[in-house]
Amino acid sequence: MINLRTLENEPGGKEGARPLFERMIRHLLKIKHGDVTGIRPAPGDWGIDVIKGDFTTGNTMIWQVKYFVEGIGKSQKDQIRNSFEQVIKKAKLENFEIRVWTLCIPCLLSAKEKKWWEQWSKEKSNETQIKIQLMDETEIEQMLLSPDAEIVRSGFFGDNPSMLKYYLQCLKGEIERDIQELPDQKLYDKALFIKKILAAGFTETISARTQFFNAELIKAEITDKNDEKEKAELNSLYEKIRSMWESRFNMALNSSDPVKEVPKVYSEMLKAIEQSDSNILKSPKLFASFVHKQGFMQQLADICEIGWIPNFRELGKEND
């Protein structure tokens, strides 16, 4: 017998089970449908986890994988709606056709949940002409028990789960996200966070732009996936960084020479974030490096919530 929730017995618990479940689904779909591929979120995944077909020729099949083990309540329904709306929006913007959209979940639906799913999927299918399907616990278990899936079944649930061990090693290696290269050094020339850095007397801004760019990638990914825990952790990091800035800014503002001391807060914050990366700013769910977290600081500056000169909010008014 196969119990999908045993994935939670590995290090990481329920949160760790989510990427393991997604990887397992990719293998099963590869066996059943052949030419399928996963989509890496960079930035965002367009509401797509696995796809069969070609973006340029249309006629694609798309799978969205959600590790919903307790059924689909309000939050899960919101995530389903958001994922479907996101991929429909991207299909229109990027000009590709969706033939089938399938939701993959490791549970069975209650009668009430099944009624909601049937009503919602029928409504959206009529509205978009896309075939909407559900791959639930029973279908996934049947796929795992098929002779063709013996390698995947033994790799994740056998006496010597080699694939599971491999992916656990991969996850342990994801201590930090890769830093993506800035596509254009003039990117964000007119952005408010750059104006604030220049106003504070700093002329080198490439690192700041790279920080901001990588922070935007994470924000876009979290927005696309609509993962409540990831959103909560991101908001927590914003608040911690804001608090770190506020204490330093107030001290500098009340010094004998605020015009001289306040700009120093910028360098102090960059250093403080780097030093706090592995303790108070640790982000186990986001795998964000100190560069990403410095980017979160730049994002706060860009919406004029923090700054590096005494009257930094005046720059924000000029940008309105």
The full set of domain ranges for the chain reads 4-173, 192-319
What whole-number distance in Å separates Cα of residue 142 and Cα of residue 125? 26
Pick the CATH number of 4-173 from 3.90.550.60, 3.40.1350.10, 3.30.230.10, 3.40.630.30: 3.40.1350.10
pLDDT attached to residue 42 = 55
User: pLDDT higher for 103 or 178?
Assistant: 103
What whole-number distance in Å separates Cα of residue 306 and Cα of residue 246? 8
User: pLDDT higher for 18 or 206?
Assistant: 206
User: How much is the mean pLDDT over the chain?
Assistant: 88
| Predicted confidence (pLDDT) at residue 287 exceeds the cutoff of 90 | no
pLDDT attached to residue 19 = 83
pLDDT attached to residue 175 = 46
Tokens read off for 231: 């959103």
Quick check: pTM over 0.75? Answer: no
Among 35-44, 107-116, 230-239, 241-250, which is the least confidently predicted range? 35-44
- List strands edge to edge, sheet with 58-65: 36-38, 50-54, 58-65, 98-104, 131-135
What whole-number distance in Å separates Cα of residue 320 and Cα of residue 318? 6
How many CB atoms neighbour CB 251 within 10 A?
13
For the chain, percent of residues with pLDDT exceeding 70: 91
> Which runs of consecutive H residues, i.e. helices, occur in 95-184?
111-128, 137-145, 150-157, 162-173
pLDDT in tens, 50-71: 888 887 766 799 999 999 999 9
Backbone angles phi, psi at 120, to 5 degrees: -65, -50
Q: Which long-range contacts (CB under 8 A, 24 or more apart) does 121-127 make?
A: 124/84
pLDDT attached to residue 93 = 85
DSSP lists the bridge partners of residue 134 as 103
| Predicted confidence (pLDDT) at residue 211 exceeds the cutoff of 50 | yes
pLDDT in tens, 145-165: 999 998 888 888 887 777 777
| Predicted confidence (pLDDT) at residue 11 exceeds the cutoff of 70 | no
How many CB atoms neighbour CB 63 within 10 A?
24
